[in-house]
């Protein structure tokens, strides 16, 4: 199994497009499956269309679903940080994508994005693992 780790800085961008990095990783590896994993308790991964306002729509939906206020039992960190710990229940921290001839088999408008609303930890990791088919 081939594996690598990406380091992300989410200070200025809460939703980060990983598609190009996943494509570069898969290109020399042939056909199989690529696993994308966020080893964090407060972040997740999604397949969405980007560049058309979907990133802002996703952020708005998550803000409505998981408000950053005092309702959360989990209290350490910035205000509303408890919501960050609930996020992975809605936005999974992992996904597997088929790869055909070195290309992730994504739909026309699908992009792989890292979702991180947690302002307390801006340096994040994503692990990519390739299993040959």
Residue 52, token pair as written in the block: 């058309």
pLDDT confidence tier of residue 76, bands split at 50, 70 and 90? confident
Q: Give tens-digit pLDDT for 86-104.
A: 999 999 999 999 999 999 9
Q: What is the pTM of this model?
A: 0.95
SS3 content of the chain, % helix, strand, coil (to 5): 25, 35, 40
Residue pointed to by tokens 């042939």: 30
Residue 11 sits at the vertex; the CA angle it makes with 9 and 16, to the nearest 5 degrees, is: 55
User: Which of the four CATH numbers 2.60.34.10, 2.60.120.460, 1.10.10.10, 3.60.10.10 does domain 2-132 have?
Assistant: 2.60.120.460
User: What's the pLDDT at 80?
Assistant: 87
In terms of Cα–Cα distance, which of 40, 46, 49, 62 is closest to 95? 46
Q: Give tens-digit pLDDT for 37-57.
A: 999 999 999 999 999 999 999
Locate the domains of the chain by residue range. Answer: 2-132
- Residue 38: count of CB within 10 angstroms of its CB: 25
User: What's the pLDDT at 77?
Assistant: 87
Higher pLDDT residue, 80 or 46? 46
């Amino acid at each position: 199994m081939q594996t690598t780790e990406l380091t992300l800085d989410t200070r200025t961008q809460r939703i980060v497009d990983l598609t190009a990095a996943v494509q570069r990783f898969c290109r020399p590896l042939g056909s199989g499956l690529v696993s994308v994993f966020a080893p964090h308790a407060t972040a997740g991964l999604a397949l969405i269309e980007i560049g058309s306002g979907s990133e802002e729509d996703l952020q708005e939906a998550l803000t409505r679903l998981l408000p950053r206020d005092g309702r959360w039992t989990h209290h350490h960190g910035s205000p509303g940080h408890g919501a960050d710990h609930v996020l992975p229940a809605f936005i999974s921290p992992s996904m597997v994508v088929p790869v055909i001839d070195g290309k992730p088999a994504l739909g026309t408008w699908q992009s792989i994005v890292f979702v991180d609303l947690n302002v307390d930890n801006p340096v994040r990791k994503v692990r990519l693992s390739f299993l040959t088919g």
